[in-house]
A and B are shown apart, each in its own frame.
Chain A
């Protein structure tokens, strides 16, 4: 993808479009955003990921101008935006609750922002038609919001926020109510729009696959703080904490005791089990307690003991989850620990040679696991 070359966050010269500087937001005693600093660059597709109530919407609302920060500053193109009212910000937001105007038709909802710009009638009509086409709502243009389905409403909200082609677009769970097919199509449309218009997107999503697909960078949040901000592949391959590893995708977390050995660590995790070897770039602060995070698809499963594998452990298949294209094997080790291993189903299910209660070997390379401190 073209995005491999796009990495302004690595460029010390690049000026961020949005900058959060030690921003805190309190609601009474409750701290919704906790001393958060963040830079988002122009043309980015920035995804916010995190559990419910972690402050994603609050961040969006501060950017749109509906909530002033309790402390710290937010800069847009280097300017403090605190004194700029929402209607003067080159920012449009798609609300999590859609906030469609119930007294206006779908068409008028989408045209609402364009009319405020005093565009000529033909220009508005053309733009609305374009948006209706994009979101496949042509048939519903004359209906009121209460006369269409939940997914259609979501598309109206999306179309309305896109219509003004703002410099910064905030999308709060824009695709949650859409079916998978339409969601994927819309994701690609969004990426396409982004490429064509150069708009910067900040998107909240609960769907990590979506974040992985569309985002240039992903921020994982928890309780008002950023835990990790990185490109999707790095978030996935090199999570900086057990929290991130666990939040993004499926993972095996093995708790153990690490000792430095060569360019990596040897981890003792249970009595009677071999030490596990893991190379790592980011060293631990010393020897001691650690967590190994290993993705299930990086673990190979076999009935024979594998030759020259860096790590190999024995276990019994406890359960098999068949996901169509993939199967996940739940393997119980001698100490009771369950390890998940995932393989692609390249053969038909009847030909599969592993089944329940089979004794198997699990193996992985010394670079498969990430060593984490906590």
Chain B
């Protein structure tokens, strides 16, 4: 009985926090817009009994999904989101790996402190941190002022409101998600393996490439997924740091909901986004499981 209870907890969690909201969104995506509160029909009227239920289902259709295919905007936004998420994941990996490596190489007594420093930004509000980047990157911002003062450039750079600013924002925000799993993998690495590789004729770099990198592979994969998945649906960063040409599906979604008040189309966008995300999530789960098997 206790066992059953214990097992049911995660499933109840999944049901309450994922499946129920998902089905609500799915239902809205199959509805039609209406000038009402909530702004769609039909709404389920349990008072009408069996006939009401039948009528309710009869009114649901895939019209909104068809609509998404008629306008270029949507598939372009999906594609551009995937591209931005992929590219910023790669950037985060390039920035995060050396940091994680450095942390794992640091003296034992320093490691908790370094870990603390990586997590520290989470202690302030995410919005405030993104706003500070606006202050740094704008034309009169700290970065441009510094570069002009030091004479590297004579005219201020246009960074804010471009995709570059979005990349910077994503890399900055999600860096800890990349660093921590890689660090966990590197910290476990037995130093004598590197020595063995060098003993067998590897240079430092070869030993890194042939031993350290493969053995931190699982950390890299976990980190990439942890960055890619939230980055794909990211809304705050592209709308605050990105420009008018920055096209991301999270932004489109927001505009459908709040500017157009078209909940059904917005829900359809969300459902598709989720379906796109399910592929990497399943891959991620598979990787985690493989890793557990290899270790167990």
Contacts and interface: CB of A to CB of B under 8 A. Distances in A.
Contacts of A101: 193, 196-197, 211
Interface string B184-226: 0000001011011111111100100011001101000000000
Nearest to A117: B201
A99 B190 CA distance: 8
Contacts of A86: 195, 198-199
A160 B200 CA distance: 9
Contacts of B206: 116
Contacts of B210: 112
B193 to A, nearest CB: 5
Interface in A40-94: 64-66, 85-87, 91-93
B51 interface: no
Name the residue in A85, A103, A146, A160 with the highest tally of chain B Cβ atoms < 10 Å from its Cβ.
A103
B198 A164 contact: no
A85 B197 CA distance: 12
Nearest to A91: B199
B152 interface: no
Nearest to B201: A116
B128 interface: no
Contacts of A329: none
Given A101-B211, A103-B214, A112 B198 contact: no
Given A116-B206, A146-B294, A99 B195 contact: yes
B212 to A, nearest CB: 11
Contacts of A116: 200-202, 206
B202 A87 contact: yes
Interface in B238-296: 294
A85 B198 contact: yes
Nearest to B196: A99
Nearest to A61: B195
A28 to B, nearest CB: 13
Contacts of A100: 196
B294 to A, nearest CB: 7
Interface string B167-194: 0000000000000000000000010110
Contacts of B217: 103
B198 A99 contact: no
Given A102-B215, A103-B214, A66 B195 contact: yes
B215 A93 contact: no
A256 interface: no
B197 A64 contact: no
A93 B200 CA distance: 8
A87 B203 CA distance: 6
B215 A87 contact: no
Interface string A109-126: 000110011000000000
A97 B206 CA distance: 22
Contacts of A361: none
Contacts of A85: 198
A95 interface: yes
B192 A112 contact: no
B192 A95 contact: yes
B199 A103 contact: no
B193 A99 contact: yes
Interface in A140-168: 146, 160, 164
A101 B189 CA distance: 11
A95 B198 contact: no
Contacts of B201: 87, 113, 116-117, 164
Contact of A112 (B190, B200, B214, B294): B200
B82 to A, nearest CB: 30
Contacts of A113: 200-201
Contacts of B198: 65, 85-87
A60 to B, nearest CB: 11
A206 B202 CA distance: 31
Interface string A307-347: 00000000000000000000000000000000000000000
A92 B199 CA distance: 6
A93 B199 CA distance: 7
Nearest to B295: A146
B196 A95 contact: yes
A186 B217 CA distance: 36
A112 B200 CA distance: 7
A112 B197 contact: yes
Contacts of B215: 102-103
Contacts of A95: 192, 195-196
Nearest to B206: A116
Contact of B200 (A97, A102, A103, A164): A164
Interface in A359-373: none
A117 B201 CA distance: 7
Contacts of A93: 196, 199
A122 B179 CA distance: 41
A160 B199 CA distance: 11
Given A99-B190, A103-B214, A103-B215, A92 B200 contact: yes
A102 B212 CA distance: 11
Contacts of A64: 195, 199
25 contacts: A64-B199, A65-B199, A66-B195, A85-B198, A87-B198, A87-B199, A87-B203, A91-B199, A97-B190, A99-B190, A99-B192, A99-B196, A100-B196, A101-B196, A101-B197, A102-B193, A103-B217, A112-B197, A112-B210, A116-B200, A116-B201, A116-B202, A116-B206, A146-B294, A164-B201
The 7 closest A-B pairs by CB, nearest first: A113-B200, A116-B201, A99-B196, A99-B192, A86-B198, A103-B214, A87-B198
Given A87-B201, A101-B211, 7 more contacts: A87-B203, A95-B192, A95-B195, A99-B195, A99-B196, A103-B215, A116-B206
